[in-house]
Amino acid sequence: MNWLPLSIVLSIVFSPVCLARQYAPIPPEELEAQATLICNGTVLSVKDTGIKRNFTYSEIGPSSLTERVILAKIKVLHVFKGKAPAIITFRYRIAGYANQVPEGDEHINLEKGVRYRYFLKPDPTQGGCVGVLEGKLDDGFAVEKLWAHEPNGSPYLTKEVAMMIAYDYLKSTKADSKYGWIDSRVMYFPQAGGAMWRVFVNRSEVSDDFPVGIFVRNDRTVDTEASKLPK
């Protein structure tokens, strides 16, 4: 497959989630560099410890948030980096009060029985593990929900592979001669499934044409309904 002739600009750009604030999605390649342990695992239990602590985040200024400390037991399904026992303890935090939740925050939110991919480092205070973005308001990017059809040993989808899958889809529509690459962005839709890349294209002959996104799921499939291209 030859996809080099297309003009490719590989830039991660900020994506707004609400009117109040913006976040910068962090690609898995960057998370891998920070992680001591990368694994897939199923949530066995989620326990509220009853511990409340005040956290201050540079993303939202000097005010602090009261948050609850949560412990989850994770059954490890596959390890990609580092070593892990069959079951690990994962510590994270959630808002202590509903009215304190900042608009657009990307905090970790685990569900019992659901499979996720974790980018972790050792927990310095209680043993076990924390996410590599511990101490950030948008720490949720350190955990990706696996899509329903992803195998237990499915690795994360790299940007390069996502763009090749998007180009294959573009060729299958016979529209590859009409479109050129703009850029690609990481998008997360945990309520719908897992992580996905959104690869933007536009009409080659019109440089200021509004870009169209091709949505590539982490299970290596394209969301064809969302990725329909104008004629």
> Which residues, in sequence order, are bridge partners of residue 184?
199
Instruction: Give dist(CA 34, CA 148) in Å, integer.
Output: 27
What are the pLDDT digits (tens) for 154-201?
999 998 999 899 989 988 888 777 777 766 666 766 556 788 898 888
Q: 44-51: long-range contacts at Cβ-Cβ below 8 A with a sequence spacing of 24 or more?
A: 44/72, 44/73, 44/74, 44/75, 44/87, 44/112, 45/72, 45/73, 45/112, 46/70, 46/71, 46/72, 46/110, 46/111, 46/112, 47/71, 47/72
What are the pLDDT digits (tens) for 86-104?
999 999 988 765 555 555 5
* CA 23 distance to own-chain centroid: 12
Q: Which residues of 153-164 are buried (b: 16+ CB within 10 A; e: fewer)?
A: ebbbbebeebbe
Whether residue 134 contacts residue 53, with contact meaning beta carbons closer than 8 Å, is answered with no
User: Quick one: pLDDT at residue 96?
Assistant: 66
Q: List Cβ neighbours of 76 (8 Å cut-off, separation of 6 or more).
A: 39, 40, 41, 84, 85, 86, 87, 88
The alpha-carbon radius of gyration of the chain (Å, integer) is: 19
* CA 163 distance to own-chain centroid: 16
Instruction: Give dist(CA 2, CA 77) in Å, integer.
Output: 35
Domains annotated for the chain, with CATH where assigned, are: 1-27+157-231 (no CATH), 35-145 (2.40.50)
Average pLDDT, the chain: 80
pTM (2 d.p.): 0.81
> For residue 16, what pLDDT band results from cuts at 50, 70 and 90?
very low
